[in-house]
A = this chain, B = another copy of it.
């Protein structure tokens, strides 16, 4: 509960908990998954890369703090289409060497990946390919891995993939999202049919089209639909044998 009453509990008597937020912000760049990192300006872990984040203020919810910190640290203002979602909470007593810190982690997805720049507390902020993001401060390696796994799983049974795309996008771009996050190639004709067969996933923008690679037939443009769930799901190819 929130109310297991310790009679006469003095809220200043205990060593207080600090509550922070950490953000795993993803985007697709050049067809590969990138994550937003900041370079720490102070000890501990000064000079190391870390997930953006910060303290939750006394009067704000964790979700609010996450959006605020993202803006403050990386210069990414409240971008339209920022998809923010709670991941889980990390509460091991020794995860921060200075004091007891409980951190609520979030995943965020961005469409067109504006350039990031260092802000208040961070020396620098940068988009880094997911594969090269290792050796982060604190337990951020683990948080980042958890976040990527969660995003990959949610692509299967939700319409989340459109959160990686700008307001108008081609089916090829949507497919790149799946391929970048899952790390596997998909069959284009089948992907196309699957997406179009799911009512409310995407809706075509009448008459609009765009060239993608300089060459080739212009692709039709689509907008995100109103559906959120994906029935039936779009399963990623099983790493091992499907059944047996």
Interface residues of A (CB under 8 A from B): 1-7, 11-12, 14-20, 22, 38, 40-45, 50-56, 58-63, 69, 73, 86, 88-89, 91-93, 95-96, 98-104, 121, 137-138, 140, 197-199, 231-233, 235, 238, 240, 242-244
Contact = CB atoms under 8 A, between A and B. Distances in A.
A19 B20 contact: no
Nearest to A101: B2
Contacts of A198: 243
Given A233-B233, A242-B232, A1 B61 contact: no
- How many copies of this kind of chain does the complex include? 2
A41 to B, nearest CB: 8
Contacts of A61: 91-93
Given A100-B58, A102-B19, A1 B89 contact: no
A95 B22 contact: no
A70 to B, nearest CB: 12
Contacts of A62: 89, 91, 102
Nearest to A90: B2
Nearest to A105: B89
A42 B137 contact: no
B1 A137 contact: yes
